[in-house]
């Protein structure tokens, strides 16, 4: 059964950590960076959350433009040098332990006319 540490940041820069176990963790499996989900799973009713990143058990970060959930070694260009870095793809798998999210809006139940 997967478990995740979910870090949720709001508009003011305050970050809250929540443990995701059971159904909440299973919901995250297969989701990608940039997808939105309801905050009800993490005790934030009437909120919308957006996945912004994460890291695996070794600390390797997730990269938004790298498809899949596998760990890969890529070249990063910094000024006039190239560095090899290990990174993880943009899909949440069971190897990911930390998921970063941003609070993007509150859900409204009122109908606007």
Q: How confident is residue 110, by pLDDT bands cut at 50, 70 and 90?
A: low
Domain that includes residue 9, residue range: 4-106
In a domain, 53, yes or no: yes
- What are 19-53's pLDDT values in tens digits? 988 888 899 999 999 999 988 888 888 889 999 99
Backbone φ and ψ of 5, nearest 5°: -100, 115
How is residue 68 written in tokens? 């899949």
pLDDT value at position 22? 87
Q: How many residues does the chain have?
A: 113
CA-only gyration radius of the chain, Å: 16
Domain count, the chain: 1
89 or 43: which leads in pLDDT: 89
Q: How confident is residue 99, by pLDDT bands cut at 50, 70 and 90?
A: very high
In a domain, 96, yes or no: yes
In a domain, 112, yes or no: no
In a domain, 113, yes or no: no
């Amino acid at each position: 059964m997967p478990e995740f540490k979910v870090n949720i940041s709001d508009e003011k820069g305050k970050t809250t950590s929540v443990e995701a176990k059971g159904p909440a963790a299973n919901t995250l499996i297969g989701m990608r960076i940039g997808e939105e989900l309801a905050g009800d799973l993490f005790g934030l009713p009437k909120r919308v959350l957006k996945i912004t990143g994460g890291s695996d058990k070794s600390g390797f970060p997730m990269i938004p433009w790298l498809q899949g959930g596998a760990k890969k070694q890529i070249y990063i260009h910094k000024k006039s040098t190239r560095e090899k870095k290990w990174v993880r793809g943009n899909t949440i798998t069971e190897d990911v332990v930390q998921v970063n999210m941003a609070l993007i809006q509150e859900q409204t139940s009122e109908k606007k006319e």
